[in-house]
Amino acid sequence: MSLKILSGLEVSKHLYSQYIQKISKLKTKNIIPGLAVVLVGDNPASKIYVRSKTKKFNDLDLHSTTIKVENSTTEDDLIKIINKLNNDKKYHGILVQLPLPNHIDKNKIINSIDPKKDVDGFHPENVGLLSIGSPRFIPCTPKGIIRLMEFYNISLKNKHVVVVGRSNLVGRPISILASSKGEFLNGTTTICHSGTPDLSIYTKTADVLISAIGKTEFLTSNHIKRDAILIDVGINKISSNNSKGYRIVGDFKWDSISKVASYATPVPGGVGPMTIAMLIENTIIAAELYS
């Protein structure tokens, strides 16, 4: 079986055409879905992510603003900014770009976002709702992964899904979502992490292997079984002699896995565009439910 590509770029284009109809419907009620992004400091990767997120909002004629604050901002000042946004009707969604500087307690900041505007799905109320099977906002990357597989008619039912990485952004929520009841879900999940001894014992049993560890080309054909479905969340920068001086690669070593896997997401063009599409989808949901 030759490798089939799971193209987030293609699927997200298809989704945007559906969103346009929802956006038009909201406009007839004078509602324009709006997102406020808070960017603390000058982390170069965060700046690029935020730019690509807000660009999509602009392309779709949605409302978005980026509030840039100094790296030295205090926790209290940041909470004041969030409180203002919580009470601003223009913004249906609030996203505080992570990571935050070390002097700021990420959890305190996430907890201060109105859970009905938490389009990232990181607030404990939304994490809890996902855990009990009544999700409100599902974190964008996990939701995008499921949507991507849905598009290619890949169900997780009767499949062993192995997740590598236990972050609150991706690893934990995708393991909860994949094992939830629902169409295309019902997977049996295992979660591996940096403390897992002999990772390949687990990864080799995966029908669907999801990597979110951010380690350049770490997983190879030695970690996977024949015809596995591979989902690569990694976005890793490596030096290159192209005009930019770098290129982006995933957690899987493409040349190695491409002869063994049945489906795989490319990097770039796989999970990344789906994450942005889901941010737009969650903001539209917030506008529909709570304006």
Residues taking part in catalysis: 53, 97, 120
**Rounded-to-integer distance, Cα 139 and Cα 119, Å:** 7
Cβ distance to ligand GUN smaller for residue 26 or 279: 279
Per rule CB under 6 A, count of chain residues that contact ligand GUN:
8
Closest distance of CB 165 from ligand GUN, Å: 12
Q: Exposure of 166 by Cβ count < 10 A (0-12 exposed, 13-18 middle, 19+ buried)? A: middle
> CA–CA distance from 129 to each of 115, 176, 185, 281 (Å)?
11, 11, 17, 18
**Rounded-to-integer distance, Cα 72 and Cα 153, Å:** 47
Q: Which residue, 40, 3, 14, 74, is CA-closest to 259?
A: 3
Answer for which of 11, 15, 96, 191 binds ligand GUN (CB under 6 A) is 96
Answer for which of 114, 118, 120, 232 binds ligand GUN (CB under 6 A) is 120
Cβ distance to ligand GUN smaller for residue 215 or 225: 215
State yes or no: residue 60 binds ligand GUN (CB under 6 A): no
State yes or no: residue 97 binds ligand GUN (CB under 6 A): yes
Q: Which residue, 233, 237, 256, 261, is CA-closest to 248?
A: 237
Closest distance of CB 16 from ligand GUN, Å: 18
Cβ distance to ligand GUN smaller for residue 16 or 122: 122
State yes or no: residue 235 binds ligand GUN (CB under 6 A): no
DSSP run (H or E) holding 238: strand 236-239
Cβ distance to ligand GUN smaller for residue 15 or 96: 96
State yes or no: residue 169 binds ligand GUN (CB under 6 A): yes
DSSP 44: H
